Chain A
Amino acid sequence: MIDWVPDLIFWIVFCAILFFSRKQRVFWTVGALGLLLLFNQFFTPGFFRIQLLDGHFYGSLIDVLNQGAKVMLLSLGMVLVIATGGVDLSVGAIMAISAAVSSRLLVSEHQPALIAVAVALFISLAAGLWNGMLVAGFGIQPIVATLVLMVAGRGVAQLITEGQIINFLDPTMVYIGNGHLFALPFTLTIVLAMLGVTLIVVRRSALGLYIVAVGDNAEASRYSGVNAKQVKLFVYTFSGFCAGLAGLVACSNIKSADANNIGLYLELDAILAVVIGGTSLQGGRFYLIGAVIGGLFIQTLTTTLYAKNVSSDISPVPKAIVIIIVCLFQSEIFRERLLLYVRPLGRILPWKSARQPENLSRITTHDTPER
């Protein structure tokens, strides 16, 4: 088979996705990912090469999917929190707790892997519930409330591991982060399953509506009978659960639990993923799929920088530059300014995708002025 055929197929599929999402908010996120991949297509030899070994796929793209699972899981929980107008800084620490609990149970207490996983997830859930109680029950500002666990959580994880790095070889536990299902990394299955469940819950129940309403105008939501406390409790708990899952994936990846380093700074990546996914930090409308693709974008960027041999000391700099550019292009004000200078762009790109039709501006001026 000729080398470039699979690449061509990939790009045709990608362009199709881009085309069908042209009216959606997610267009910009997918577009950014596309540009990044295009860069790799030309400047990173072998980036698109995928090999089949022992019935499993291997390659940089697969790596991106596998390594990106953590941020994608985190962003799934984070996007709902941010939609209610909050933020969850504790997810990295919860990852560490989850990893510590599971490996401690597995190694020191000789519990079966399933129990270890279940307990770790339960404790993560409880940690999320704690955040939710602080925010919804006691009205503490989300940044402060989750900062508590962000700082203290790693200490808790250290206590659980007794300051040790716990290594394990349990096959079930190792499978979570390294196994393959349908020739693809098992982590991908976890992410897709979580995305699917979240999409169903958010769209099939009224939760999605409540989350947007609370994030958009909390006071009016209260007047409409929406139980904002319950909604907030749910999103923080869910975010804790997602972080717990991500923690399991993270420690399974490296077959050990290091309370100091697991999930370090990942809360920031998760927030970035959500923002790149098109959700405003002010709350309101949120984009689940966008957030997951945002997570994928960040991982692709990281992997690209590795592939280009950018030393990990300075890699945050190019990363920051790319992210600023992406955020700029998501800003309507920036796009309008740009359009003033580069007119032809308006014809090839769906600039108006996130804006409302022009003819409405007339309707809005009917109000009698209120003094």
Chain B
Amino acid sequence: MTAPLLEIIGLSKSFPGVKALDAVDLAVQRGEIHALMGENGAGKSTLIKVLTGVFSRDAGETRFEGRNIVPKSPREAESFGISTVYQEINLIPHLSVAENICLGRQPTWLGAIRWKAIAERARTALARLDLSIDVYRQLSSCSIAMQQLVAIARALDISAKLLILDEPTSSLDRTEVEELFKKLRRLREDGLGIIFVTHFLDQVYEISDRITVLRNGCQVGCFPTDELPRIRLVSSMIGRAVEEVEPLEQTRATTATIRSMEPVLQAHELGKKGSLSPLNLEIRPGEVVGLAGLLGSGRTETARLLFGVDRPDHGTIRMDRRDVKINSPRAALRHRIALTPEDRKVAGVIPNLTVRENIVLALQASRGTWKCLPIADQIKLADRFIKALNIRTPNREQVLRNLSGGNQQKVLLARWLATEPKLFILDEPTRGIDIGAKAEVEKLIQSLREEGLAVIFISSELEEIVRQSQRVVVLRDRRKVAEITEGEISGHAIMQAIATNQLESPSA
């Protein structure tokens, strides 16, 4: 075998308090599509950013075409022939395709831009992708998929030898992905090295030659794709041996009693184009339904549809034997559905309101503007939840931004518990909070269930799902692939379902 195109040896990078990369090795050959896999925070982005000179490195070396390189900026990396296409399309929508491709390196003559040369270069770059579109078209008038391809064309324009694609498919639909892959295969034949970062398992197996798995900043291993069974890939990403993730002994409400109850909510063929393929979901009082799947598999999208943040364009939701329309969080609130969102900072915390105000907000919103909750009741309510959920705050009038993440999360839980919901959707309720708070949140979920609430529990941590749920719905690539019922729930079963190829029948 010839010397690899790119060789990274022992690369390390620390941020204050975190070791983001710990002696990571990576080798990419010419004419190879190399998948970089790992959960969120595994260090994929950091690795790419160090490689392209966005971040400086602490240790390790990078050999590119046998030469030692230490790029200090993405521009310098480009000059070596390392080109990156980022997840969000970094192009300028109001410029033409040609301008976007040549932006920052326009051919000039005596300081004047040579528009014809620009168009010519753009056409050449697009031709490498077998594309012939009007290069004078405004970029924003192209489809997202086309914009993605233009971004790749831009990356190729600098005579790239190594192309890094960071989640290029996350905003594309199935046929568009096919199209993209066809172009990538062509580039592979041209002898380009391609690093492909994605969350989608199916795509990795479809296109990549080798897979490098990262976890917690460490390299787990580098495997030829053919020799790595899906289940081993999943387990190496999650960091548990397949046998390790087993259910803990616990008391569960008997399935029989739950089964006999009227469902709180029935979603029939609920879906939205581009975000979730239609799925069926049913949930009964006193039941915790876990939503499992890798990141980007459609878990959060399901929650957003059920809560009315996004409007479904397909299917129906039934509650209390009636079809209901949930078009906004306000409507969800009216139907007594609650949601603590995945991104606490953006969609949950109102930083400069006090703990009390944050707790009463949703309840107040459900009462309308003029029926103001008397201040005495607000105080009572806030104090009750501060005590019940053990929220650590000096007093109830502290502004929320001064509390720790775990306590902020508890305040958000309190905000929704105050509305006495029938269905509580918890999207990653334990992310980014410390162990103690985590245990408290888990205990809370169980006690809610015992009180007869229906809970949808979304988590990336398999153990949590296994521990908490009576039923687990497994999602992959924005579709429901399996439903695992009580008694069969185990880490192995979930991983199996996540890993199963779409073409096979989902086994539980």
Contacts and interface: CB of A to CB of B under 8 A. Distances in A.
Interface of A: 204-207, 209-210, 212-213, 216-217, 219-227, 230, 284-285, 356-357, 359-360, 363-371
A368 B40 CA distance: 14
A219 B350 CA distance: 9
A205 B372 contact: yes
Contacts of B330: 225, 227
Interface in B386-418: 392, 394, 398-399, 402-407, 415
B71 to A, nearest CB: 22
12 contacts: A205-B369, A207-B369, A210-B369, A212-B353, A217-B350, A219-B347, A223-B309, A224-B415, A366-B405, A367-B433, A368-B405, A371-B18
B357 A209 contact: yes
A371 B352 contact: no
A360 B350 CA distance: 18
A225 B369 contact: no
Chief secondary structure at chain A's binding surface: helix
B361 interface: yes
A366 B406 contact: yes
A356 B406 contact: no
A224 B329 contact: yes
B333 A225 contact: yes
Given A224-B329, A368-B434, A217 B364 contact: no
Contacts of A364: 402-404
Contacts of A204: 372
A226 B419 CA distance: 13
A369 B329 CA distance: 30
B126 interface: no
B372 A217 contact: no
A357 B395 CA distance: 12
A368 B432 contact: yes
Interface string B48-60: 0000000000000
- The winner among A213, A219, A221, A223 for most chain B CB atoms within 10 A is A223
Contacts of B307: 223
A357 B402 CA distance: 10
Can you list the 4 inter-chain pairs with the closest CB atoms, starting with the nearest?
A225-B365, A225-B333, A366-B404, A367-B405
A220 B415 CA distance: 12
Contacts of B352: 212, 216, 284-285
Contacts of B445: none
B345 to A, nearest CB: 9
Contacts of B357: 209, 212-213
Contacts of A224: 329, 333, 350, 361-362, 365, 415
Contact of A220 (B350, B372, B432): B350
A366 B41 CA distance: 19
Interface residues of B, number: 54
Nearest to B401: A364
Interface in B7-22: 15, 17-18, 20
B347 A223 contact: yes
A233 B353 CA distance: 22
Contacts of B333: 224-225
Contacts of A370: 41, 431-432
Nearest to B349: A220
B349 A369 contact: no
Given A364-B402, A369-B17, A226 B392 contact: no
Contacts of B432: 367-368, 370
B373 interface: yes
B341 interface: yes
A207 B373 CA distance: 12
Contacts of A216: 350-353
B341 A223 contact: yes
A293 B434 CA distance: 45
Given A213-B350, A285-B352, A366-B434, A227 B365 contact: yes
Contacts of A221: 350, 361
Contacts of A284: 352
A360 B395 CA distance: 11
A235 to B, nearest CB: 12
A370 B371 CA distance: 40
A216 B349 CA distance: 9
A220 B404 contact: no
Nearest to A361: B402
Contacts of A367: 404-406, 432-434
B347 to A, nearest CB: 5
A359 B392 CA distance: 13
A357 B394 CA distance: 10
Given A224-B415, A364-B402, 7 more contacts: A216-B351, A223-B309, A225-B362, A226-B361, A365-B404, A367-B405, A371-B40
A72 B124 CA distance: 64
B110 interface: no
A226 to B, nearest CB: 5
Interface string B310-348: 000000000000000000111011000001010000111
